[in-house]
Structure 1
Amino acid sequence: MDWMLWIKAAVMGVVEGLTEFLPISSTGHLILTGSLLGLSGDTIKVFEIAIQTGAMAAVIWEYRRKLWGTVAGLGHDAVAQRFARNVLIAFLPAVVLGLAFGGLVKAHLFKPVPVAMAFVVGGLVILWVERRHHRHFGERDLEGTRRARVETVDDMNSLDALKVGLVQCLALIPGTSRSGATIIGAMLFGFSRKAATEFSFYLGIPTLMGAGAYSVWKQRAGLSWSDAPMFAVGLVFAFASALLCIRWLIRYVSTHDFTVFAWYRIAFGAVVLLTAWSGAVAWTA
Structure 2
Amino acid sequence: MYEAKDIDYAVSGRLLLDGADLAVRPGRVTALIGPNGAGKSTLLKVLSGELRPRRGRVLVDGRDIAALGPARLAQRRAVLPQDVQVAFPFTVAEVAAIGLPSGERAPSRIAEALARVDLAGFRDRPYAALSGGEQQRVQIARALTQLAGCDGPGYLLLDEPTSSLDLSHQLMVVDLARQVARAGGGVAAVLHDLNLAAMIADEIVALKNGQVAARGAPAEVLTDAIVADLYAVTARIGTAPPSGPFLLPQAMTRLRGGLAKAAEGGGGPPSAVHEPTRQ
TM-score past 0.5 threshold: no
TM-score, normalised with respect to structure 1: 0.28
Which one has a larger percent strand, Structure 1 or Structure 2?
A: 2
The one of the two structures with greater contact order (alpha-carbon pairs below 8 A, sep at least 6) is: 1
Which one has a larger percent helix, Structure 1 or Structure 2?
A: 1
TM-score, normalised with respect to structure 2: 0.28
